[in-house]
Amino acid sequence: MQDPSKLKSFLHDLPHLPGVYRHIAEDGEVLYVGKARDLKKRVSSYFQKTASSPRIAHMIARTVRTEVTVTRSEAEALILENNLIKTLHPKYNILFRDDKSYPYLMFSHHEFPRLAYYRGSTNKPGRFFGPFPNAYAVRDSIQILQKVFRLRTCEDTVFNNRSRPCLLYQINRCTAPCVGLISAEDYQVDTQNALKFLDGQATDVIKNIETKMLNASENLQFEQAAIYRDQMQSLATVMHNQSMELSAQVDVDIIAVVFQSGKCCINLAMVRGGRHLGDKAVFPTQVNGDTESEVLSAFIASHYLDNQLPAQLILSHPLPDKELLILLMEQQSRKVRVLQRLNDTQKVWLELAQKNAYLALGRALSESTVKEARTLDLAQLLGLPQDPESLSQLWIECFDISHSAGEATQASCVVYQHHDMQSSRYRRFNITGITPGDDYAAMKQALQRRYAKVNEDSHQMPDIVLIDGGKGQIEMARQVFEEYGLDTSKIIGVAKGEGRKVGLETLVFTDEREPLSLGVGSPALMLIAQIRDEAHRFAITGMRAKRAKQRNISRLEEIEGVGAKRRQKLLARFGGFSGVVNASIEDLRSVDGISQQLAEKIYEALR
């Protein structure tokens, strides 16, 4: 609790300006991040005699100080607030754990544009459509466009080095521009038709193709007329399958928020150019006493700071913050209209979004019940706090080592919290300076690098540290923890049983506790096995990637006459080893320092 005299002085000195405030606990943990149009009024409201809710009262009881940052505008405060929430994960904020960017469909900026799945910034050459709710929706659209318009999807290194058409040409999914079987002008026509289709002008595209079909038929070009006929049929089938199509060619997002059994789900349905692209279910955490409108407002602020606003929004609940969309529109220099009076089609969209939210929430509740039971069983086994809040916050890290006969050694660290794996917090460690194949030394190095700057009171310290291994690996972990003054009782080794079968593992401790064999039916062991297997998967995929990279570069090193400088030029020129492999002798010859004879030698060595 803050000192009353200091608090009064602090509140008195706050400015009537926009900004961001952070409530901070005694151990330095940021409990809550918020934005304000007027910092003085907003922050002062938390310290009234009667708190607005039990959750706020509990948070203020833990707050020992409040920090503020003044911004130039409320829009700037909104951006800073969401960046801090995503970075700090405050305990009392509504959190959206899926922060992965939404995918786009990209047309590259080439003479023969490439159709591709894309994530990242759209501030680069090319045309981008989306965002799409999930990867499946993008790939489904790519398949449609390949079938109808036969556009290329291959990488540039493949496209530039083909000598004959690939399988996609044989199955009528590409027109083979790589080997000149279609002119640049005709390919551009197909590209423009695809762009019009994505812009919602499918009817115009069908009319254009029909005109071409009739002209080809009149000119006795029956093979070409048949191609146009097949295009029309494919396009008509696609349009028919879009059974929930809006009549207007507009971009609309439909957002529905539902609660059930104390859990919340947000369902985001996307319509672009009149086409329904699919749904995405989001499950926010730390929703305690918040209303549907408050959750909706938090989601819109978080989502549309990173993604473009559509022309229209259909919302299941009214927004409590009327200024939110104004701030977002100012930031993006775009206009968005929230539809209030829905027509029959729009009502159907909203009802479907709500139904899908309930279905997704039902599945999640069923899965979460099992996950929570496993976490509870583990907490009971180890004598840890078992109240719902402590179980949700239980933080487990698990380490594993992977190498290929001592080559490309990597260590993995995976994280479990909130009854689920937290992939955004995974880490890999490239292990160097040890005897190849020495798993004990590799484990010690990984633990040292992870915990070197962590002390026991730090909020960066997990509750449990799982080590995939027996007494040897456990001893390495004990030495590292004692070296850094950490609690060795947090270390648990997972020793594999006979035949490495799940259910036969033994838990090994660093203190005086006897090893535990839990048995096949133990929910706690199932949880530990899940975390251990994820650490193994993450380690082995990293090791294989590292090994492949090392081996590929070594193949170039083995070629006489290819030194470090030439190797670097080759990799830079062709964008990596696979590009060098696909390059022709003429392409290799074009690299500075590569003679005709050496180009032939490289070409033969990499076949």
Q: Are 34 and 83 in the same domain?
A: yes
Whether 451 is in a domain gets the answer yes
Query: Could you say which of 88, 117, 147 is where a domain stops?
Result: 88
Residue-wise pLDDT tens digits, 539-565:
888 767 766 655 555 567 667 777 777
23 occurs within a structural domain: yes
Tell me which residue range forms the domain holding 449: 395-547
* Angle formed at CA 101 by CA 99 and CA 104, multiple of 5 degrees: 160
Q: Is the pTM of this model over 0.75?
A: no
Find the range with the poorest average confidence among 131-140, 292-301, 482-491.
131-140
Residue 318 lies in a domain: yes
- Count of domains observed in the chain: 5
Instruction: Point out which residues pair with 401 in neighbouring strands.
Output: 411
Instruction: Return the pLDDT at 176.
Output: 92
pLDDT attached to residue 21: 93
Q: Are 137 and 117 in contact (CB under 8 A)?
A: no
Kindly give the pairing relationship between strand 19-25 and strand 30-36: antiparallel
Q: Are residues 187 and 263 in the same domain?
A: no
The CATH number of residue 57's host domain is 3.40.1440.10
pLDDT tens readout for residues 574-597: 766 777 777 888 888 888 888 888
Q: What share of the chain is helix, strand, coil (3-state, %, to 5)?
A: 50, 20, 35
> Considering the domain boundaries, does residue 403 fall inside one?
yes
Give yes or no for residue 445 having a pLDDT over 50. Answer: yes
DSSP secondary structure of 389-434: HHHHH--EEEEEEEEETTEEEEEEEEEEETTEE-GGG-EEEE--SS
Mean of pLDDT values over 176-196:
89
Task: For residue 211, tell me if it sits in a domain.
Answer: yes
pLDDT greater than 60 at residue 240 = no
The whole-number pLDDT of residue 260 equals: 84
Highest mean pLDDT of the ranges 129-133, 269-273, 374-378, 470-474: 374-378
**Token pair for residue 308?**
């473009």
Confidence of residue 13 (pLDDT cuts 50, 70, 90): confident
Peptide bond into 131 cis (omega under 30): yes
Whole-number pLDDT of residue 243: 41
Better pLDDT: 247 or 16: 16
Structure token pair of residue 593: 């320092």
User: Do residues 403 and 391 touch, judged by C-beta distance below 8 A?
Assistant: no
Claim to verify: residue 527 and residue 564 sit in the same structural domain: no
CATH of the domain at 296: 3.30.420.340
d(CA 245, CA 240): 9
- Residues 337 and 403 occupy one common structural domain: no
Tell me how far apart the alpha carbons of residues 441 and 431 are, in angstroms, rounded to a whole number. Answer: 9
In this predicted structure, the answer to whether residue 232 has a pLDDT above a threshold of 60 is yes
SS3 454: coil
| Whether residue 543 sits in one domain with residue 563 | no
Domain identity same for 47 and 163:
no
Give domain status of residue 114, yes or no: no
Residue 114 has pLDDT above 60, yes or no: yes
Q: Given a cut of 60, is residue 26 above it in pLDDT? A: yes
pLDDT for the residue 246: 46
pLDDT-derived band at 397, boundaries 50, 70, 90? very high
The stretch 288-310 carries a mean pLDDT of 85
Whether pLDDT at 53 is above 80: no
Q: State whether 446 and 588 are in the same domain.
A: no
Average pLDDT of span 448-455 = 83
- List beta partners, residue 129: 105
pLDDT digits over 76-107, tens only? Answer: 888 888 888 888 888 888 877 655 567 888 89
In a shared domain, residues 467 and 509:
yes
Residues 353, 264: one domain?
yes
Taking the C-alpha atoms of residue 219 and residue 48, their distance in angstroms, rounded to an integer, is: 84
Question: What's the confidence (pLDDT) of residue 465?
Answer: 92
| pLDDT (average), residues 406-410 | 70
On whether residue 385 sits in a domain, the answer given is no
DSSP 340-382: -S--HHHHHHHHHHHHHHHHHHHHHHHHHHHHHHHHHHHHHHH
Does residue 515 sit in the same domain as residue 433? yes
Helix (H, G, I), strand (E, B) or coil at 118: strand
Residues 417 and 514 occupy one common structural domain: yes
Query: Distance between CA atoms of 372 and 343, rounded to whole angstroms?
Result: 42
Kindly state whether residue 377 falls inside one of the protein's structural domains: no
Which CATH number fits the domain that encloses residue 571?
A: 1.10.150.20
High-pLDDT (> 90) share of the chain, %: 12
Domain boundary among 72, 88, 104: 88
**What region does 314 belong to: left with phi over 0, alpha with psi -120 to 50, or beta?**
beta
The pLDDT of residue 602 is above 60: yes
**Where does a domain end: 528, 547, 566?**
547
Q: Are residues 296 and 230 in the same domain?
A: no
Q: Assign 607 a pLDDT band (cuts: 50, 70, 90).
A: low
Longest dimension (CA), the chain: 94
Note the pLDDT of residue 320: 81
